[in-house]
């Protein structure tokens, strides 16, 4: 008998969602034997809205158009698409919630500059998830700054167990794998054991010190340590800004791909002998204060049970990088303290 999975996507009229929705509906993520019902959430229409240009549309109208396109794909796996501006309806009975809806940054901004604007979205959405979602719900926060938005949502939706709340560092993980593969002249699949520690921000630590290339320490394959420290790490940390500079818009295709990869890993498990990166609610692992949403290396089994890889060690460079991203996340937590119920 086939299963049915309900998946909420917020910001469904935005560019990341547009690159993601068909892949969620198609069977690629949940399998050909699972039917998908998509719940698309957008902000309510503004009655006094004036289009800034003749082709501009309100986000809810765009989400309706996206729903039409999804139906027009004729996916055997897609059972229904619900479009709404009501978070309670969007999260009703959902097994997965992908929280993309939030403003993106523009040129010259850091992601944490969005906290004031976006943080409060996740108070109401955390509460609405706790009230309406299925008992097995898993949540991925994509909207930036995603670690701290996840912290806000988790604190406001604490009826949902802590292990279900994730923020997305998978895009950074994929970037970090690809940059090592390009430098070493090997396929992406040859690069394993990469971790994005900490924040999805320019303080993240893309850990080359524990990474492997064709099973050997990456530092034995790429022996130019100066390149690793002063080119590779900043390239990974600032890749989002480089995309914004090039496109005039933040990443969408690769961001959607990161979200799809994240969900796939949590549905199907990680490959034997490797792990992935995800920001999860810390229980104190690696000395991170419990409750902070921190990027870790995780393995996932085929039943969606996950655990943090333990026992990795850092050299002096790694220790300093780890501390820097931890300090930033503590500062972000302090900045949203008014959004965290006591």
Catalytic residues: 200
12 labeled binding residue: yes
When the beta carbons of 25 and 168 are compared against ligand LMR, the nearer one is 168
Minimum distance from residue 341 beta carbon to ligand NAD (Å):
19
Minimum distance from residue 196 beta carbon to ligand LMR (Å):
11
124 labeled binding residue: no
Within 151-190, the residues that bind ligand LMR by CB under 6 A are: 171
143 labeled binding residue: yes
Q: Please spell the DSSP secondary structure of 78-143, one letter per residue.
A: EEEEEEES-HHHHTTT-SEEEE--SPPP-TT--GGGGHHHHTTHHHHHHHHHHHHS-TT-EEEE-S
Provide the token pair at 155. Answer: 């604190």
User: Which window, 82-90, 219-227, 240-248, 284-292, contacts ligand LMR (CB under 6 A)?
Assistant: 240-248
170 labeled binding residue: no
Minimum distance from residue 190 beta carbon to ligand NAD (Å):
24
Q: Which of 150, 243, 279, 292 binds ligand LMR (CB under 6 A)?
A: 243
Residues in the site for ligand NAD, rule: CB under 6 A? 10-11, 13-16, 41-43, 59, 100-105, 121, 142-144, 146, 168, 171, 200, 250-252, 255, 258
The values of phi and psi at residue 36, to 5°, are -120, 135
Give 276's strand partners.
298
Q: Please spell the DSSP secondary structure of 218-244, one letter per residue.
A: HHHHS--HHHIIIIIHHHHHTHHHHHH
Contact of 161 with 289, CB cutoff 8 Å: no
Q: Which residue is nearest to ligand NAD (CB)?
A: 14
User: Which window, 53-61, 72-80, 103-111, 309-317, contacts ligand LMR (CB under 6 A)?
Assistant: 103-111
User: Which window, 187-195, 219-227, 243-251, 259-267, contacts ligand LMR (CB under 6 A)?
Assistant: 243-251
Q: Which of 5, 255, 267, 298 binds ligand LMR (CB under 6 A)?
A: 255
Q: What angle do CA 80, 85, 90 make, to 5 degrees?
A: 45
Q: Does 20 bind ligand LMR (CB under 6 A)?
A: no
CB proximity list for 32: less than 8 A, separation 6 or greater: 76, 77
237 labeled binding residue: no
When the beta carbons of 59 and 145 are compared against ligand LMR, the nearer one is 145
Q: Which of 118, 195, 250, 277 binds ligand LMR (CB under 6 A)?
A: 250
Minimum distance from residue 250 beta carbon to ligand NAD (Å):
5
**16 contact choice in ligand NAD, ligand LMR, none (CB below 5 to 8 Å, kind-dependent):** ligand NAD
| H-state helical runs in the chain | 15-25, 59-72, 87-90, 115-118, 121-132, 146-156, 170-184, 218-221, 225-227, 233-237, 239-247, 253-268, 316-335
From 308, 303, 237, 251, select the one nearest 275 (Cα to Cα): 308
β-bridge pairing 191-192 and 165-167: unpaired
CB proximity list for 238: less than 8 A, separation 6 or greater: 202
CB proximity list for 131: less than 8 A, separation 6 or greater: 88, 91
Separation between Cα atoms, residue 277 and residue 258, nearest integer Å = 11
Residue numbers in the known binding site for NAD(+) are: 11-17, 118, 125, 142-144
Q: Could you list the residues that contact ligand LMR (CB under 6 A)?
A: 104-105, 111, 144, 171, 240-241, 243-244, 250-251, 255
Residue numbers in the known binding site are: 11-17, 105, 111, 118, 125, 142-144, 175
């Amino acid at each position: 008998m086939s299963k049915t999975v309900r998946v909420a996507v917020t910001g469904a009229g935005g560019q990341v969602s547009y690159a993601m929705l068909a892949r969620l509906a198609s069977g690629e993520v949940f399998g050909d034997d699972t039917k998908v019902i998509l719940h698309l959430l957008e902000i309510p229409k503004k009655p006094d809205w004036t289009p800034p240009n003749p082709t501009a549309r309100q986000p809810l109208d765009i989400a309706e158009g996206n729903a039409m396109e999804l139906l027009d794909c004729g996916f055997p796996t897609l059972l229904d698409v619900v479009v709404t501006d009501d978070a309670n309806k969007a999260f009703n009975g959902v097994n997965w919630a992908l929280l993309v809806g939030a403003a993106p940054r523009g040129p010259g901004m850091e992601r944490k500059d969005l906290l004031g604007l976006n943080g409060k979205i996740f108070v109401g959405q955390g509460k609405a998830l706790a009230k309406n979602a299925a008992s097995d719900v898993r949540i991925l926060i994509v909207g930036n700054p995603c670690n701290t938005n996840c912290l806000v949502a988790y604190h406001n939706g604490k009826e949902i167990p802590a292990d279900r709340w994730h923020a997305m560092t998978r895009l950074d993980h994929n970037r970090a794998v690809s940059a090592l593969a390009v430098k070493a002249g090997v396929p992406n699949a040859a690069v394993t054991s990469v971790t994005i520690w900490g924040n999805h921000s320019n303080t993240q630590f893309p850990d080359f010190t524990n990474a492997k290339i064709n099973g050997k320490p990456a530092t034995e394959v790429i022996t130019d340590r100066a390149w690793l420290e002063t080119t590779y790490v900043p390239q990974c940390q600032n890749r989002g800004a480089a995309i914004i500079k090039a496109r005039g818009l933040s990443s969408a295709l690769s961001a959607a791909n990161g979200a799809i990869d994240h969900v796939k890993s949590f549905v199907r498990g990680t490959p034997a002998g490797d792990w992935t990166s995800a920001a999860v609610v810390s229980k104190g692992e690696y000395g991170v204060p419990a409750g902070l949403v921190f990027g870790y290396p995780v393995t996932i089994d085929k039943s969606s049970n996950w655990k943090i890889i333990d026992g990795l060690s850092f050299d002096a460079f790694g220790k300093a990088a780890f501390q820097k991203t931890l300090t930033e996340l503590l500062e972000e937590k302090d900045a949203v303290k008014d959004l965290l119920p006591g």
